Amino acid sequence: MAQILPPSDLETERRLTALETRLDVTLPTLATKADIAEVKAAIAGAKASLLVWGITTAVAVVAILVSLLLFLAQQLETAPSDESASQPVLSRLPTASSATLPPVATGGSGPKN
C-alpha cells in the first residue's frame, strides 16, 4: 500500500522536488574547470596584447616628440640673425579711387513693392 505522509512531510517532499528540479536545470549550465581555464587563457592573451599595444604607443609618442624637438632646434639654428630680415613686409593696398567696382544693374528686373 501507499504510505500516507503527514501534511508537514508532504510539504517537505514538494519543496524537495522543486529544489531537485531547479538543480537539474541549473547544474548543466555551471562552468567547469576546463571552462574556467579557457577564460583564464583568453584573459592572459588579451593582457599580453594590451601590454604590447601600450608599449608600442609609448614608443611612438616619444619618437614623435623627439622628432618635433629636433625639427624645432634645426629651425632655430637656421633662422636669420640680422635685424633687416625680421622687419615686416609692407605692401600697398589699392585705394578706393583706384579700385574698379562692378557695374550696378538697373532696370525693371528688380523686386517691386
- Report the distance separating Cα 109 and Cα 54, nearest Å: 68
pLDDT 10s digits, 6-46: 667 888 888 999 999 998 888 888 899 999 999 999 999 99
Residue 28 vs residue 67, higher pLDDT: 67
pLDDT 10s digits, 87-97: 666 777 766 66
Residue given cell 501507499 in the structure block: 2
Check residue 102 and give its pLDDT: 64
| 20 contact partners, CB below 8 Å, separation of at least 6 | none
Confidence of residue 85 (pLDDT cuts 50, 70, 90): low
| 31 contact partners, CB below 8 Å, separation of at least 6 | 39
